[in-house]
Amino acid sequence: MSPGCLPPLAATLRHDGFTGSLTLIGDEPYEPYDRPPLSKQVLDGWVPAQRTALPVPGDLDARWRLGVAATGLDLARKQVLLADGEEVAFDRLLIATGVRPRPWPDPAQAALDGVFVLDTRDDAARLQQRLAAGPRRVLVIGGGFIGSETASACRDLGLAVTVAERGPAPLAGALGRVIGAIAADMQRDHGVDLRCGVFVTALVGDSSGRLCSAELSDGSTLDADLAIVALGSQRNVEWLDGSGLAAGPWGVGCDSGSRAFTLDGMVTDDIFAAGDVARFPHPLYNYEFLALQHWGNAVAQAEIAAHNMISAQTDRWPHLAIPSFWSTQFDTEIKSVGVPSFADEVVITQGSAADRRFVAAYGHRGRVTAAVAFNQAKWLEFYQSLIERSAPFPPDFRGVDEPADRRPVPAGMPDRPIPGDQATVEVTGHNPGERRAALVRRRHRPGGRLPEQRRDGHGTAQSL
């Protein structure tokens, strides 16, 4: 689910004059709620998990089908199948099923008492209780945004915490190795036992099924009674199997107006996708298909989708917003505009990395594609305008708080995964009217290791 999508979607539909019937389907029993606090204020106890409800306009006149999952889509009959057997007919459908955390790959180890993933507000409430009870040591598996924010909340609570990150630095998947190194210093300064370049090979329970330790790839063993699995996300697309839509591990492909593609690569006119699950082409990024798993994208794209769902062909809008996200961790506000992973170089343009107050601009082949601020967010509108204008990189201006050294360095981005790699397609038929593509499902290797591509978590973008 990406519940963040639903209020802006529904509100925009009604605001734009849609008077027909509106059905909102979600597998969680709650009305839409705000997820970002779940890894921040909820964990350290500042905000109760149930106080995260999103404002929903009172006059939506919508039918809510909460607590029941969609299990199938019949494009020909224009019906959504629900888990309770009901079929919901539609003229237009928006797919906003979002993502869920990638689970710990070994189900028996994942079931140990003390092993958590952070997805729903129920997860956050349970985790908050366990953190408040004072575990001896928390192991955070994965140093992306969710892992880092969770580790920060643990330190705020005074808990001993180890972060195990497979890559060279925390946040390196989203922000690159150079800025990741600054995040690493930040974590260590805040007392995190940060271990990079290692991964957890096994979670070990005691005789009563409680987590007691973890084995790491460097051969060491770590005592921990609570583990938080923060290995990125996977998309909620299984319910679309066999629907004929271009839906797979990469998400749901759609055009920049949110219209979903079929597996044949044709655009549909009545099926739309938005939010974490959608993957769409962005002209500023070489028309590559982006999957943006950020709060702001869910809102902006849902508004575009809503508009297009009730507009004539010539009146449709493209989703051309500049991506943006933020994270709060270790007393630092990290904010980003653009797509940092779409970069080969980075340069600090304002402030000081040593003080952890700076702006870094990212460049791809000589133009500005992103900027990231640590505790300097108020300058980012300027950088957004540079991105919008495809301004030259490195940016050349005289401004306040200039660092002595303004030479760009390689950003140290990991190789960008190619999600399409995960799709195997067969084309059948001979006559043009009969040609069709079909997805061949690859099975995961039995007992397989973690999928290699897990850099698509909160706050990062992938391109197809």
Partner 1 sequence: MAMAQPSLFDQVVDFASRADPYPLYAELRRTPVSRADDGSYVVSTYQEIVALLHDPRVSSDRRHRADYAEDEDEFVPGLPPSFIGLDPPDHDRVRRLLTRHFGPPHDPGRITSMTADMADIVADLIGHLAGRTSCDLVEDVTYPFPVTVICRLLGVPREDEPRFRVWADAIVSSIDPTTGDLAARKRRRLHAAADLASYFGELIDAGRDRPGNGMLAELVADDGPEGRLSRAELMSNSSLLLIAGHETTVNLISNGMLTLLRHPQVLQRLRRQPALSARLVEELLRYEPPVQFLPNRTALDDIEIAGTIIPRGGQITLVLAAGSRDPEHVPDPGCFDPDRPDNEHLGFGGGIHYCFGAPLARIEAQIALPELVRRLENLRLAADPPPYRPNPLLRGPAHLPVRFDRIAPAPATRSRDQRITEAAAPAGVRTPRYRTVPAIMLS
**Binding segment (CB under 8 A) for partner 1, from list 33-41, 71-79, 188-196, 233-241:** 33-41
Of residues 371-430, those binding partner 1 (CB under 8 A)? 376-382, 385, 397-401
Of positions 6, 9, 24, 37, contacts partner 1 by CB under 8 A: 37
Of residues 276-295, those binding partner 1 (CB under 8 A)? 295
Of residues 307-326, those binding partner 1 (CB under 8 A)? 326
- Tokens 């209020």, residue? 7
Of residues 55-94, those binding partner 1 (CB under 8 A)? 55
Cβ proximity to partner 1: between 355 and 405 the closer is 355
Q: Output the smallest distance, CB 376 to partner 1, in A.
A: 8
Of positions 23, 50, 311, 352, contacts partner 1 by CB under 8 A: 352
Of positions 27, 34, 255, 345, contacts partner 1 by CB under 8 A: 34
For residue 325, the SS3 value is strand
- Number of residues located near partner 1, criterion CB under 8 A: 34
Residue 459 sits in the site that holds partner 1 (CB under 8 A): no
Angle at alpha carbon of residue 191, lines to 373 and 371, rounded to 5°: 10
Tokens of 259: 């219209």
| Residue 354, C-beta contacts closer than 8 angstroms, at least 6 positions apart | none
Residue 51 sits in the site that holds partner 1 (CB under 8 A): yes
Count of residues in the chain = 464
Q: Output the smallest distance, CB 372 to partner 1, in A.
A: 15
The secondary structure of the chain in percent helix, strand, coil, rounded to multiples of 5, reads: 25, 30, 45
Buried/exposed code over 351-386 (b: 16+ C-beta within 10 A; e: otherwise) = bebeebebbbbbbbeebbbbbbbbbbbebbebbbeb
Residue 17 sits in the site that holds partner 1 (CB under 8 A): no
**Binding segment (CB under 8 A) for partner 1, from list 74-82, 165-173, 236-244, 345-353:** 345-353
Residue 299 sits in the site that holds partner 1 (CB under 8 A): yes
CA distance 139 to 127: 13
Residue 188 sits in the site that holds partner 1 (CB under 8 A): no
Of positions 258, 350, 453, 462, contacts partner 1 by CB under 8 A: 350
Contact 296, 290 (CB under 8 A): no
Of positions 92, 316, 357, 367, contacts partner 1 by CB under 8 A: 357
| Residue 446, C-beta contacts closer than 8 angstroms, at least 6 positions apart | none
Compute, in degrees rounded to 10, the torsion defined by CA atoms 93, 99, 103, 105. 70
In angstroms, what CA-CA distances link 302 with 14, 55, 73, 338, 434?
13, 15, 20, 19, 34
Footprint of partner 1 on this chain (CB under 8 A)?
Answer: 4, 34, 37, 41, 47, 51-52, 54-55, 295-296, 299-300, 326, 349-352, 355, 357, 359, 376-382, 385, 397-401
